[in-house]
Amino acid sequence: MNKFLIPLLMSATAVAGLTGCSSKQDQLIDKPDFHTTDSIFDIEALEALGRVTNPKVSPDGSKILYAVSYESVEQNKSNNDLWVMNADGSDKRRVTKTPGSEGEAAWLSDERIAFVAEKAGKPQMWVMNIDGTGRRVVTALENGVQGFSVSPDGKKVLLISTVKYARTAQDVYPDLPKANARIIDDMMYKHWDEWVTEIPHPFIADFTGYTIDNLVDIMEGQPYESPMKPFGGIESFAWSKDSKQLVYVSRKKVGKEYAVSTNSDLYLYDLEAKTTRNLTEGMMGYDTNPAFSPDGTKLAWLSMEHDGYESDKNRIFVMDMASGVKTDLTADWDYTADAIAWNPNGKSIYFLAAYQGVTPIFSVELGSKKVTMVTSNADVADYAALAPLGESTVVTMRHSILYPNEIFAVTGRKATQLTEVNADVLSQIVAPSVEKVLVPTTDGKEMTTWVVLPPNFDPEKKYPAILYCQGGPQQAVSQFWSYRWNLMLMASNGYVVIAPNRRGLPGFGTEWNAQISGDYPGQNMRDYLSAVDYMKQRPYIDGAHIGAVGASYGGFSVYMLAGIHENRFAALIAHAGIFNMEAQYLETEEMWFANWDMGGAFWEKDNAVAQRTFANSPHKFVDKWNTPILITHGEYDYRILSSQGEMAFNAAKLRGVPAEMVIFPEENHWILRPQNAILWQRVFFRWLDRWLKPQADEAEQPAKADVAPAAAEADAAPEAAAE
């Protein structure tokens, strides 16, 4: 489930490294030897950080398994290795050290683990003793293994692999073996960054602990995904306590029906009877993340109410498996849950949720439905994992705008740090500082805004500023850490960063979150301008040198602001943004998103919401563009095609607006490869420095286009905006 941009709380390159090709000639990617002489957090420092992921507590609670990945700029790839430590953080041991990545790790027993690593060019399941000995490959599936889950009794294993989906030219015309064409007769023929030729299916096999047998595709012959693309994984499955049943998530739709619907369901598969039953029939939105209670009598999951609304409130439901009675535990709690895990006592469920600008850990009691914050309400940080250890401790990951994920243990609202993977890098850095500012909005509300101040901040000086425009559009601006849209890096380059929780972001109630749907050109744009106008009053901000930057919906925001900002900005950067909304409506793949957020199709002339949306498309305000703009895009981006960026660039050049464009032929909606990521950052700051830093040689800068200031309001009526 995602809008345009999913939260970047972990390194996408670490994920990519699991399936990247490796060879015997590959060099070991290890922790870099990083030293700085100026104490500034720069691109080299960002690339030197270790990416910590996937903490798992051993069955006896004595150890924690986790992963750390590093990047090699020279090899242009990353490598993920496995580590083990005692539950108190002592005795940290690296248990894999190979040129290829090991990931998706899980405990088999207190002394053995399983993981996914490459074998003969394909990811497969492996097993190993916790001391690193006894490593051996378990599977040899033709299409590889993307994830696995061993049953509670250890005798079965669920394997995620792929099956053929799309027909080829040779399937239709076998006498043309060299024909190269795609024959398409329905929608969803491409998704995220690939043409859909294969789909994931769950396979179940007998498991001895070292080998598998009797492999069965439990959805054989069904043209449906499980887990759901593009980001579903092993969290889409849950074993019953007796290992005789498996719950899986699937949206059993294809083509146009798939493209317009978010109605996934939970299916209960009986291994002995080989029967399948829909547990959530009639629940019309996303149903995901199933988890059986410790005693196996109940099933919890996340559920959205409305079909087609992928950023709906995620409710926590529990079903009594004997009676089938379903209960919404968060009906009276006005926030959306992101992940769940049972407390081992079976009486409550831990969950993560964006809340007032941060992402704490919460707990909800089954009986009273009482929601309690498990972490401290004074903790200005985000939490990003749930691994219960006993009844009172949660092993988790924590990060903020100023530091990446490390593993913590939370007990009694106290968070104890267990790993210090990046302490040596961060100890050399003079960090920026972060302030929480409440900005008055045009409709009389207050908007939580994070302001990141440069290192060694001097309130007597003037600083250029950057307005950060979030993607999603409904993804929280919390204490997030990104390896590309890194607010600490922006501030360390001498900018004050303004990051508003504008309308449409979670963490401030369902009304605030839902308001943006059907109102792209409206209140959230006014919120952005309110944040800029409010912060310009601070004496330390150079009001003549403010930029706006963003990706995905943030890129759309930049394109929209370009036509309505009335000279508030001196430079703009848009990555993977929507420029022409009519074109986007027919170019994107997940039509449920376009229908819900745009209000419908542009040809629905009697649909006032849709007509207002399309009449206020950024491309219709190009006549007001007068601000230098940098545009970047990936050619493998099938969510928002690179043609959107190309149109915007051409429009700027034809208008005489200073513009530059960078197209990445091998990247998707993100920029994943290390050297491309460094290139992107260099271009990003070169562009901002050129236009926003007063000390730059302005004589060498082209003048702004001679264009009259924008007169249109962000919420202009369709007929006015179209003139």
Q: Is the peptide bond before 32 cis (omega within 30 degrees of 0)?
A: no
- Beta bridge mates, 83: 66, 94
Catalytic residue among 287, 399, 637, 642: 637
- Structure-block tokens of residue 14: 């670490």
Residue whose structure tokens are 């050129």: 690
- Structure-block tokens of residue 568: 């508030």
- Beta bridge mates, 70: 79
**C-alpha to C-alpha distances, 183 to 186, 197, 635, nearest whole angstrom:** 10, 11, 22
Backbone angles phi, psi at 158, to 5 degrees: -90, 130
Evaluate whether 30 touches 80 at the Cβ level (below 8 Å).
no
* Counts for the chain of helices (H) and strands (E), in that order: 15, 39
E strands in 254-347: 265-270, 275-278, 287-292, 298-303, 315-320, 326-328, 337-342
Residues shown for the chain:
723
Q: Are strands 122-129 and 112-119 parallel, antiparallel or unpaired?
A: antiparallel
In terms of Cα–Cα distance, which of 46, 53, 8, 3 is closest to 482? Answer: 8
Strand ordering across the sheet containing 315-320: 287-292, 298-303, 315-320, 326-328
Strand ordering across the sheet containing 348-353: 337-342, 348-353, 361-365, 371-373
In terms of Cα–Cα distance, which of 356, 374, 357 is closest to 365? Answer: 374
What gap in Å lies between CA 104 and CA 102, rounded to an integer?
Answer: 7
- H or E element that contains 453: strand 446-453
Residue whose structure tokens are 């562009």: 687
What gap in Å lies between CA 674 and CA 73, rounded to an integer?
Answer: 6
In terms of Cα–Cα distance, which of 393, 387, 356, 357 is closest to 375? Answer: 393
Q: Is the peptide bond before 227 cis (omega within 30 degrees of 0)?
A: yes
- Structure-block tokens of residue 488: 């600490």
Evaluate whether 468 touches 487 at the Cβ level (below 8 Å).
yes
- Structure-block tokens of residue 512: 């605030």
Indicate if 35 belongs to the active site. Answer: no
Catalytic residue among 552, 557, 617, 642: 552
- H or E element that contains 542: strand 541-551
| Encoded amino acid at 21, one letter | C
DSSP letter string, 338-377:
EEEEE-TTSSEEEEEE-BTTBB-EEEEETTT--EEE-S-T
What gap in Å lies between CA 264 and CA 33, rounded to an integer?
Answer: 47
- Structure-block tokens of residue 428: 């050399």
What gap in Å lies between CA 658 and CA 502, rounded to an integer?
Answer: 28
- Structure-block tokens of residue 163: 């099956």
| Encoded amino acid at 465, one letter | A
What are the residue ranges of helices labelled H in 338-497? 423-426, 487-492
Catalytic residue among 191, 399, 575, 669: 669
Instruction: Please enumerate, as own/partner, the contacts of 281-289 that have beta carbons within 8 Å and a separation of 24 or more.
Output: 285/309, 285/312, 286/1, 286/262, 286/310, 286/312, 286/314, 287/249, 287/317, 288/1, 288/232, 288/235, 288/236, 288/249, 288/264, 289/235, 289/236, 289/249, 289/339, 289/340
Indicate if 637 belongs to the active site. Answer: yes
Residues involved in catalysis:
552, 637, 669
